[in-house]
């Protein structure tokens, strides 16, 4: 894990050029935002230019940085290469907290349990998660799908040691899945819907009654201290974007189609599973985070216990 983190740190430094985090007494006029393919609301705001326009009114510009998934995005936040992350799965902040990242929870999306799932080929004879014992399962380490797999196995009376995990990025997960190199693939939308519609994959199990799949927006503590006004603008724009996507599913799909390179049918299905209900975080809302942290530590996938309650939470107006 240390070696992987070192590689991600090095890659982040090379790609972005390391910069020291903003000091509390500074008032930076640029916010560096990290996002990934599944960062729907940030992608909508970026494409429409609404966030740029809203922040320009208070003299702030935006620098956009795209990542392959949540874990390297949090690595970049940890070293000061970005100031704020778009939504990441609930597991990602826990690993960052374990690494001592100086971060703050800014917002969260309400649960979307069916927006992540364990997929199997259409021809697979597997009928229940209990039959995953001894099977090769493709997943991306430290993601929401990782916890979904752990929780699903536990419910089926299995442990992580009962399967053969194959850690890959999502593009490589799908390639391995379609080649038949793995027996199952743990993924999330829009990869999930693409796998179902394009590859004919079947859902073996999703997060219903197992994993809430809440997604969080996080900021570097120094930036949040220096520019709470920026966080307020971003929160308001995210909340409005969430309502727009849910109220205008076809228009949202058409907007995202050229960016995601997916058919509108896939995008509409994916967006239909996500809540996109952006809320302010609270200590009570982090209770489920503690369950996830304890699960990863029990499976020896975290280097030390994590007390989620000790994490910083942004309070609007502070």
Instruction: Give CATH for domain 2-111+214-313.
Output: 3.40.190.10
Range of weakest confidence among 13-22, 79-88, 243-252, 268-277: 13-22
- In tens, the pLDDT along 213-238 reads 999 999 999 999 999 999 999 999 99
Backbone angles phi, psi at 187, to 5 degrees: -150, 180
- Residue by residue, DSSP assigns 61-112 as EEEEEE-SSHHHHHHHHHTTS-SEE--EETHHHHHHHHTT--EEEEEEEPP-
Task: Give me the sign of the Cα torsion angle 247, 249, 252, 254.
Answer: negative
Indicate where the chain has its CATH 3.40.190.10 domain(s).
2-111+214-313, 113-206
Q: What is the pLDDT of residue 13?
A: 38
Provide CB contacts within 8 A for 35, sequence distance 6+: 42, 43, 46, 64, 65, 66, 67, 73, 85, 86
Tell me the β-bridge partners of 107.
217
Q: What is the pLDDT of residue 283?
A: 76
- Biggest CA pair distance of the chain: 61
- In tens, the pLDDT along 69-97 reads 888 899 999 999 999 999 999 998 999 99
pLDDT above 60: residue 55:
yes
Per-residue pLDDT band at 1 (split at 50, 70, 90): very low
Of the candidates 227, 226, 314, 312, the residue with the CA atom closest to the CA atom of residue 23: 226
At which residue do the structure tokens 């990025």 appear?
169
113-206 is classed CATH 3.40.190.10? yes
Question: What's the distance, CA 92 to chain centroid?
Answer: 7
Per-residue pLDDT band at 68 (split at 50, 70, 90): confident
C-beta separation of 11 from 70 below 8 A: no
Instruction: Give the relative orientation of helices 40-48 and 249-260 as an angle to the nearest 10 degrees.
Output: 90
Of the candidates 212, 223, 4, the residue with the CA atom closest to the CA atom of residue 89: 212
Q: What is the pLDDT of residue 11?
A: 36
Task: Give me the sign of the Cα torsion angle 159, 195, 64, 4.
Answer: positive
Query: At CB < 8 A and 24+ separation, what contacts does 264-267 make?
Result: 265/197, 266/190, 266/193, 266/194, 266/197, 266/198, 267/190, 267/193
Q: What is the pLDDT of residue 282?
A: 81
Task: Give 236's Cβ-side CA count (13 Å radius).
Answer: 13
CA distance 167 to 53: 40
- In tens, the pLDDT along 267-308 reads 999 999 999 999 998 877 788 899 999 999 998 889 899 999
Distances (CA, A) of 143 to 57, 174, 197, 199, 236: 35, 16, 23, 22, 26
CA distance 18 to 268: 38
């Amino acid at each position: 894990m240390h070696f992987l983190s070192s590689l991600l740190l090095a890659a982040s430094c090379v790609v972005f050029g390391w910069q020291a985090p903003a000091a509390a007494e500074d008032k930076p006029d640029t916010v560096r935002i990290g996002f990934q393919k599944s960062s729907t609301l940030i992608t909508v705001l970026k494409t429409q230019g609404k966030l740029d326009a809203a922040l320009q009114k208070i003299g702030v510009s935006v620098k956009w940085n795209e990542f392959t998934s949540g874990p390297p995005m949090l690595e970049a936040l940890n070293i000061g290469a970005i100031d704020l992350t778009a939504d990441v799965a609930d597991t990602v902040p826990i690993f960052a907290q374990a690494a001592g990242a100086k971060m703050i929870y800014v917002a969260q999306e309400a649960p979307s349990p069916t927006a992540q799932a364990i997929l199997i080929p259409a021809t697979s004879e597997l009928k229940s998660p209990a039959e995953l014992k001894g099977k090769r399962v493709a997943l991306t380490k430290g993601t929401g799908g990782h916890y979904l797999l752990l929780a699903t196995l536990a419910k089926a009376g299995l442990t992580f040691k009962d399967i053969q995990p194959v850690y890959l990025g999502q593009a490589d997960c799908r390639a391995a899945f379609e080649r038949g190199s793995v027996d199952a693939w743990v993924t999330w939308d829009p990869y999930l819907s693409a796998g179902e519609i394009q590859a004919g994959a079947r859902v073996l199990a999703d997060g219903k009654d197992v994993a809430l799949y809440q997604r969080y927006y996080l900021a570097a503590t120094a930036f949040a201290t220096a520019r709470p006004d920026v966080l307020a603008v971003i929160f308001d724009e995210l909340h409005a974007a969430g309502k727009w996507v849910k109220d205008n599913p076809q228009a949202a799909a058409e907007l995202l189609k050229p960016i995601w390179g997916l058919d509108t049918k896939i995008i509409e299905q994916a967006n239909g599973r996500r809540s996109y209900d952006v809320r302010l975080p609270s200590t009570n809302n982090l209770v489920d985070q503690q369950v996830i942290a304890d699960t990863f530590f029990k499976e020896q996938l975290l280097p030390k216990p994590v007390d989620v309650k000790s994490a910083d939470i942004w309070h609007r107006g502070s």
